[in-house]
Structure 1
């Protein structure tokens, strides 16, 4: 699947947040895709029309960009393109939560990538999100309850769900995989989740399936492990750069050899 991304060089339209936009663009380039960041409602339909996938990230949400997201998502659905949602901080504010449900009502998403606190918000369970991060209490919940939340989202919205955490959960409502690739250092940099959502958008271009999502999550986690192995005495900023570097080198064979995937 990674080799297909490099061969196809898919154009990924990102309506994303300005905190992590540079990292997202570089991650996609490193993987072998091409990023475009366009969020004006006057051009998003045109940009979607020449793209291979759309990734919507609500990290820095406002009314202007919300209109653009809905317009772009509707056009992507019309064209049959994969659409990924990263509902950053859902549950942190009433406005943000209402915006997420407006997006879910207006757009059919191929994949939703989020943390456990955001996930609980999507199925109207009480969550205690810590700003844009999952709360410690939600993170401490047992894996089986998180799996149940993921399945609920997939069934409710007819989508592939990826809940990121110490163990990543991937499900389409029927099949479930747990991926243990990755490193805790990934949670110490801004944008690791945003980059994963964009990377999964690229993977969806070469196979809009549960198996593709599992492959993409594992590949990204392997990059996180290798970045830490090379970190030495350096800090967070170096780690972010190393993570992006590793996306250029990870292969399908690496996923087969080093993927820590459990199907349950």
Structure 2
């Protein structure tokens, strides 16, 4: 498993997949730089007239609802419609799901009228997307990853999507499989948009030909966690962490990846 995940990391570096992100104002620069550091090519586009044309040329689409407005919701609908029409994988980040009725309505639209290839969120967000009654704290999680496992399993079965629950332990769930990744560092929670960065990286790996959405999600989260550990060892605080994190995405070696990665695999979701 580790060998295949590393092979996918190299494939992103070599193939430089094009990733279209409809994302939020807070993280645009962060996620674009992270994609570039990992080897992918980012596009941040929102204009209605170019949505269909843009989705037609990219390898994957990322939809992030962090800073919603009516114009961007329409952009999302047009982009996702085209993605599903042409078979382009798309990844949903339900930032702050459960916080407001409007946000919940947008999540409901994106998960009932469409079927995300992958959904990534923290435990509270995933539970909210699955319509479990939870109380969110802004975009932060008030629950541990394992508390959202039943919700993630329900979503995976209902939507036939891969669901990733981010946390101290990242859980990746599909209809048939469950994977746990135990990497990362607490300082990652001190930098805004790290979850959004994880979602963008999932998009990059989903764009790789012949890589399944489950394996793509596992590869992205593995790279994210290992890079976070490497960055934390050099950082003196959140500011320097961001710089070292980008460097780690760019320069992580096979030896570092294989030595640090902690992965537990099950053949069936619980």
TM-score calculated relative to the size of structure 1: 0.93
- Whole-Å separation in 2 of the counterparts to 1:261 and 1:52: 27
- Whole-Å separation in 1 of the counterparts to 2:159 and 2:255: 33
Residue 171 (structure 1) aligned to one of 170, 173, 176: 173
Q: How many residue pairs end up in the alignment?
A: 257
Residue 187 (structure 2) aligned to one of 185, 188, 192: 185
Residues 105/248 of structure 1: CA separation in 2 closer, same or farther (3 Å cut): same
Query: Which shows bigger deviation, 116-125 or 22-31?
Result: 116-125
Deviation at 1:256, TM superposition (A): 3.3
Residue 100 (structure 1) aligned to one of 102, 107, 112: 107
2:225 is equivalent to residue 221 of structure 1: yes
Deviation at 1:37, TM superposition (A): 0.4
What's the C-alpha RMSD, in Å, of the aligned pairs?
Answer: 1.4
Residues 26/243 of structure 1: CA separation in 2 closer, same or farther (3 Å cut): same
Instruction: Judge conservation of contact 1:186–1:192 (CA < 8 Å) in 2.
Output: yes
- In structure 1, the residue matched to 2:215 is 211
Deviation at 1:147, TM superposition (A): 2.0
- In structure 1, the residue matched to 2:69 is 62
Instruction: Judge conservation of contact 2:34–2:246 (CA < 8 Å) in 1.
Output: yes
Instruction: Judge conservation of contact 1:82–1:208 (CA < 8 Å) in 2.
Output: no
Instruction: Judge conservation of contact 2:23–2:64 (CA < 8 Å) in 1.
Output: yes
TM-score calculated relative to the size of structure 2: 0.91
SS in 1 for 2:141: coil
- In structure 2, the residue matched to 1:9 is 16
Once the two structures are superposed, the pairs formed by residues 27-106 of structure 1 within 5 Å of their partners are: 27-106=34-113
- Whole-Å separation in 2 of the counterparts to 1:19 and 1:94: 21
Deviation at 1:148, TM superposition (A): 1.8
- Whole-Å separation in 1 of the counterparts to 2:42 and 2:66: 18
Deviation at 1:238, TM superposition (A): 1.3
Deviation at 1:133, TM superposition (A): 1.1
- Whole-Å separation in 1 of the counterparts to 2:47 and 2:215: 33
Residues 69/86 of structure 1: CA separation in 2 closer, same or farther (3 Å cut): same
- Whole-Å separation in 2 of the counterparts to 1:227 and 1:154: 32
- Whole-Å separation in 2 of the counterparts to 1:112 and 1:171: 10
Deviation at 1:253, TM superposition (A): 5.3
Deviation at 1:40, TM superposition (A): 1.1
Deviation at 1:225, TM superposition (A): 0.2
- In structure 2, the residue matched to 1:23 is 30
Instruction: Judge conservation of contact 1:215–1:255 (CA < 8 Å) in 2.
Output: no
- Whole-Å separation in 2 of the counterparts to 1:225 and 1:24: 18
Deviation at 1:218, TM superposition (A): 1.1
User: What per-residue deviation string (whole Å, max 9, x for no partner) do you get for residues 179-203 of structure 1?
Assistant: 1010111111101001110001001
The unaligned stretches of length 5 or more in structure 1 are none
Instruction: Judge conservation of contact 2:37–2:249 (CA < 8 Å) in 1.
Output: yes
- Whole-Å separation in 2 of the counterparts to 1:172 and 1:51: 25
- Whole-Å separation in 1 of the counterparts to 2:173 and 2:258: 19
The unaligned stretches of length 5 or more in structure 2 are 1-7
User: What per-residue deviation string (whole Å, max 9, x for no partner) do you get for residues 218-254 of structure 1?
Assistant: 11100000000011xx321211121122110124554
- Whole-Å separation in 1 of the counterparts to 2:122 and 2:108: 16
